[in-house]
Structure 1
Amino acid sequence: MARRWLMICPKRTDDRGNPLPPSESELNTIRNCPIRLEQIRLRLSDVSWWMRLMNQRVAQRANREDGSGGRFFEDRFKGIPVIDDESVLACAVYVDLNWIRACMAETLELSDHTSAQRRIEAITAETQAPASNPTSAPDDPSEAADRCVRPLADSFLAPVDLNEAIELPGPQPSPCDTRCSDKGFLPISAAEYLELLDWSARQSAAGKPGRTPDNLPPILIRLGLSPTVWLELVANFDDLFTTMAGLPENIDQRRGKQTGRRFHVQKRTRELFAQAA
C-alpha cells in the first residue's frame, strides 16, 4: 500500500516527471505510522481522491507542455453561472458564432460542429420529410417512438424552446436514448433563435455579405436590447461576464456561498444594460 501510494504521489521524479521507485526510508515513513497508513488506505479506496490525483497529474503535464502554470483550467476554459434568459441567449449565440468569428465559415450552415448547424439540418430534414399522419395526436406514443427510431441531426441536443406557461416544472426525461432530457432552455422557438443568430452573424462579422434588416428580430424587442448593445454582448461575452452571467441587478442579488460577498460586475456591462433600459 505504501509503495502504491508513493508511485502515485512520488517524493522523487525523473527529468520527464515520471515517478522514481520509493526508497526503503520513504516506505518506512508510511509503514511505521498507523495513522498515516489508515489515511492512505482510505484515500486509495476513494474515487474522489483518485479523480483529484488524476486531474493534478494531467494539469502538471499540460502546464509543462504549454509552459504555463496554475490550475489546468486557468486561461484555458472558464465556467461561470448563467442566471437569466438574457445571458443564456447571449451565451448560446456567442458559442454558435465561434466559427464565423474565427473566419472558418461564412454561414451557419457551414459552421461545423456547432449546435446551430445541427438544428438547421434537423429543420431541413423535417421540412423535406413526408407529412405525418394528420389523425394522430401530437403526443401519440407511436409518433414519439418513430422519432426515436429515426433521430434527427439535433436529437442529442436540448430543445431550444421552453414554454414555462404550459410545461410542468422540474425535469422532463426523454423517451429516447439520444439525450437525457426534453426540457428546453430559452423562451423562444428554434426558428426564432436561428433567425436572431443569423442576423447577429451578418451584423457582427466584418466583411461578410448581408445588410441590416429593416425590422429587428422580435426577440430583441422583447428583451429591450438595441442592436448595438446586443452585438457587443455576443461579441465580448467572455470579457463582459467574468464571474457570473446575467442582468447586473440579478447578479447584485447573488452572494458567494463561502464568502457571502457580492459578485463583481464589469463597469462596461452595467453601462450596456443601462443603455438598453
Structure 2
Amino acid sequence: MPTPRSKQVCLQATPYYHCISRCVRRAYLCGKDHVSDRSYEHRRGWIEKRLLFLSQIFCIDICAYAVMSNHCHLVLHINHAQALKLNDEEVVNRWHKVCKGTLITQQFALGNQIDGDLLPTLKQTISIYRNRLFSVSWFMRLLNEPIARMANAEDECTGRFWEGRFVSQALLNESALAACMAYVDLNPVRAGIVDIPEKSEFTSIRRRIKALLQGKEDEQIMPFSDKAKSKRSETLPFNLDDYLKLVDFTGKTMKNRQVNVIDSALPGILSRLNISSSNWYQLTTKFEDYFKGPVGNSVALSDFCRLQNRMRRPNIAVSKQLFG
C-alpha cells in the first residue's frame, strides 16, 4: 500500500527530499522518438527553465537536478525558516506569480483597503499560501502541470503526460544527501549519454561547473558551505571543491567499472561520510533500486520512524549494509 504524503515529508527529521517524475507515453518526454524520428529535446529546456523559475518563488532550494529523456530527478531543500520570515505582502506577491489568487488577495496586492469583515478571510488565505510556498507537493504540481499542458498542446492530444504523482524520498543524513546528489548529477554518465559530468546538459552539475569557471555563484541553485554569499542563510553541508572531486571520481569509476579503489585514491569527503568505495559505487549506480522510501543510516531511520509514529523501519537492512 502506498505511503501517504503526510508520512513522506517530515521537517523535524530532514529538510532534504529526492523527487522523481516519469513520463507515461512511448514518445519520450525530451528525447528522440525512434519510431516517428521526431526530437523532443527542446522540452528539456522547458523543464529546466520552469524549475529555476519556481526556485525563486517557493521557499524551496534546488540542491541537484537532472532532466533525462523520459524522467527528471530533483533533490530539494525545504527552507521553512525563510517561509516564516516572509511578510504578508511578500507571500501574496510570490503566490500571484504562479496562480491568480482570490479577489481579496488581488485587492490586497494592489494596496487597496480590505474591509474589517474580510480581514479574517484574508489572513486565513495568506496562511494557506505561506504553507504552500514550502510544500514539495505544490512545487511539483506547479512544475509538472504546465509542462504537461505545453506537451499536450504541441502533440495535439489530451490525457496524461506524467506517469502519476511524483515519487518522494526523505534524505535523512549527510551521507544519504551526498549519495543522492551524486546519483542525480551522474544520471547522464551512468546512462552512457556523456563520458564526463561537465558535458551533461540540463543538470545541476553542469551549471555549478560553468559558474565556477566564470568565477561566480549560480544564485538559482543552493550553494555549498564554502561558496555562499552572506545573504544565503541555508547552505549545503559540503565543500564545493570536495563535492566536484567526488563526482569526478565517481564518474571515472562508473566509466571504468572499477568498484574497488585503493584508499589513497579516495576523495577525502568519503572518509568524512564513512562510506567505502565499493558501497559508494553501489549507492551512486543503484540508489533507486536499493531505496524505495526514506534513506539514511540506521540511527537516522529510527529517529524518522519515531517522529512519524511508525512501527516498522523501512530499508533498515540495506541501510546498515551501505551506510554502516
Instruction: State the TM-score, normalized to the length of structure 1.
Output: 0.53
Cα distance change on mapping 1:78 and 1:256 into 2, 3 Å? farther
**Pairing 1:99–2:99 present:** no
Q: Is the 8 A contact 1:80 1:245 kept in 2?
A: yes
Q: Which has the larger radius of gyration?
A: 1
- Give the Cα separation in 1 of the matches to 2:235 and 2:242: 14
Aligned length: 177
In the other structure, the counterpart of 2:209 is: 120
- Give the Cα separation in 1 of the matches to 2:289 and 2:204: 23
In the other structure, the counterpart of 1:24 is: none
2:245 to 170, 192, 195: 195
Cα distance change on mapping 1:91 and 1:162 into 2, 3 Å? farther
In the other structure, the counterpart of 2:91 is: none
Cα distance change on mapping 1:91 and 1:63 into 2, 3 Å? farther
Q: Is the 8 A contact 2:217 2:223 kept in 1?
A: no
- Give the Cα separation in 1 of the matches to 2:257 and 2:274: 27
Greater RCO (Cα-Cα under 8 Å, separation 6 or more): 2
- Give the Cα separation in 2 of the matches to 1:255 and 1:266: 11
- Give the Cα separation in 1 of the matches to 2:302 and 2:207: 36
Q: CA offset at residue 215 of structure 1?
A: 2.5
Give the letter for the 2:234 counterpart: K
Q: What secondary structure, in the 3-state scheme, does the structure 1 residue paired with 2:167 have?
A: coil
1:235 to 259, 273, 285: 285
Q: CA offset at residue 212 of structure 1?
A: 7.2
Q: What secondary structure, in the 3-state scheme, does the structure 2 residue paired with 1:255 have?
A: helix
Give the letter for the 1:255 counterpart: C
**Pairing 1:255–2:319 present:** no
Q: Is the 8 A contact 1:94 1:234 kept in 2?
A: yes
Give the letter for the 2:167 counterpart: K
User: How does 1:218-233 map onto structure 2 within 5 Å?
Assistant: 218-233=268-283
Q: What secondary structure, in the 3-state scheme, does the structure 2 residue paired with 1:113 have?
A: coil
User: How does 1:1-277 map onto structure 2 within 5 Å?
Assistant: 65=160, 72-73=164-165, 77-126=166-215, 152=216, 154-161=218-225, 181-186=232-237, 188-206=238-256, 214-255=264-305, 260-274=310-324
- Give the Cα separation in 1 of the matches to 2:162 and 2:321: 37
Q: Deviations over 1:66-112 (max 9, x none)?
A: 797xxx22xxx311211111111111101100111111111111011
- Give the Cα separation in 1 of the matches to 2:281 and 2:158: 35
Give the letter for the 2:278 counterpart: T
- Give the Cα separation in 2 of the matches to 1:192 and 1:82: 20
Q: Is the 8 A contact 2:182 2:284 kept in 1?
A: yes
Give the letter for the 1:222 counterpart: R
- Give the Cα separation in 2 of the matches to 1:260 and 1:120: 41
Q: CA offset at residue 258 of structure 1?
A: 6.3
Q: Give the gaps of 5 or more residues in structure 2.
A: 1-124, 130-136
- Give the Cα separation in 1 of the matches to 2:158 and 2:236: 35
Q: What secondary structure, in the 3-state scheme, does the structure 1 residue paired with 2:251 have?
A: helix
Give the letter for the 2:222 counterpart: A
- Give the Cα separation in 2 of the matches to 1:250 and 1:108: 30
Identify, as 1 or 2, the structure richer in strand: 2
Cα distance change on mapping 1:226 and 1:260 into 2, 3 Å? closer
- Give the Cα separation in 1 of the matches to 2:278 and 2:200: 24
Cα distance change on mapping 1:64 and 1:259 into 2, 3 Å? farther
Q: Is the 8 A contact 1:161 1:189 kept in 2?
A: yes
- Give the Cα separation in 2 of the matches to 1:67 and 1:154: 29
- Give the Cα separation in 2 of the matches to 1:241 and 1:113: 25
Q: What secondary structure, in the 3-state scheme, does the structure 2 residue paired with 1:155 have?
A: coil
In the other structure, the counterpart of 2:75 is: none
- Give the Cα separation in 2 of the matches to 1:239 and 1:84: 19
Q: Deviations over 1:218-237 (max 9, x none)?
A: 11111221100111111121
- Give the Cα separation in 1 of the matches to 2:218 and 2:203: 10
Q: Is the 8 A contact 2:296 2:323 kept in 1?
A: no
In the other structure, the counterpart of 1:11 is: none
Q: Is the 8 A contact 1:243 1:263 kept in 2?
A: no
Q: CA offset at residue 206 of structure 1?
A: 4.6
- Give the Cα separation in 2 of the matches to 1:248 and 1:160: 26
Q: Give the gaps of 5 or more residues in structure 1.
A: 1-45, 127-151, 164-171, 176-180
